[in-house]
Amino acid sequence: MLTSCELNPLDVTIASGWKAKSIAAMRHTKPDMLALSPSGTWLYVSCESTQSLLAPSLIAINLENGRQQILLYGLHRADGLKFAPDGSLWLGEEFKKGLIWRIAEPDKLPEEQRVDRDSLRSSHAAIAPLKAVGTFSHEGFTFSRDGKFAYLADEWEEGCVYRYEMSTRKLAVFHADKGWLPITNPDDARLEAEMLHGTYFNRLEDMETLPDGSILMAETTTGKILKLDDSGNKPSIVKWLSRSEIKHPDNLAWDEKRQWLWITDDDKPSFLWAWDGRTVHEIVRHEDAEITGVIVAGDNIYFNMQMPDGNTEVTMKLSPAAISGNGG
């Protein structure tokens, strides 16, 4: 199922000045989000496969030696993926009864663990659901720079934005006029958000924390990237970027070195864009595959390609043409 290769999928178009190679190939896994371990050794891939004890949910790729392994099976449409301030890995499920699953010390987790989604039990004590952060469609989430809060978006046509206070384990929903309103039962977060008249958004996808502490959110249906500012007495969400080239923004990654925002575009064809503050640059394009899960690691950019019709799917490394070597 997993192989290390130099495969360059047919019809992928790479902009001048860049080169790309495949570092993993798989089938029937629907690779989606990416997360890089704090050590820089392991690249984690969430798999948007359907719930089954035989369906991969999380893959780990060792960037130092090319080793790949399936860490976890059994979740339903695993999608959102980020490291929390305490070093644990959060893995979200993208459906209306989706949960966040916390994996403690993922670099040490033995491979081929399983979750029984019906009983919410796992095969290893390091894997547990975080029910307090809410039950809804978890694709986009991120953390404040000071580690006090997690911010979460419900990927739904009438989805809200939530804030989870890490120390008190309290969840709140964003209201454009009233600020953060407490959710008393996280399992009914959607219902409570509706009753509180939480502000709706139209299919929020990925979220990314910027160096100044503000948070970007991709609203894919409207083609906009929004910015959440929670630094003052009252939070605000405003439009940050709207360009005609970007049809359905999906995954986001801030490139501190280049001062760029990388954006995957879930359209036909699918794109990987780079926004430099003035211009949108087309870096990667594919006519049939969906480009997903962009992440920055030094000079290199990693992303996935979900291929249609059961064709081989890949995780790719993108590098400036002048950069050579196999490091992550």
Residue 128 is assigned to a structural domain of this protein: yes
Residue 319 is assigned to a structural domain of this protein: no
Looking up residue 235, the CATH number of its domain turns out to be 2.120.10.30
Domain residues for the domain of 165 are 35-295
128 residue type, one letter: A
Give the rounded distance of the alpha carbon of 37 from its chain centre.
14
Helix (H, G, I), strand (E, B) or coil at 33: strand
Residue 162 is assigned to a structural domain of this protein: yes
In tens, the pLDDT along 101-155 reads: 999 999 999 999 999 999 999 999 999 999 999 999 999 999 999 999 999 999 9
User: Counting Cβ atoms within 10 Å, is residue 269 exposed (0-12), middle (13-18) or buried (19+)?
Assistant: middle
User: Counting Cβ atoms within 10 Å, is residue 166 exposed (0-12), middle (13-18) or buried (19+)?
Assistant: middle
In tens, the pLDDT along 288-310 reads: 999 999 999 999 999 999 987 77
Residue 8 is assigned to a structural domain of this protein: no
For 118, other C-beta atoms within 10 Å of its C-beta total 8
Helix (H, G, I), strand (E, B) or coil at 292: strand
- The model carries a pTM of 0.95
In tens, the pLDDT along 207-254 reads: 999 999 999 999 999 999 999 999 999 999 999 999 999 999 999 999
What is the rounded CA–CA span in Å between residue 309 and residue 281? 29
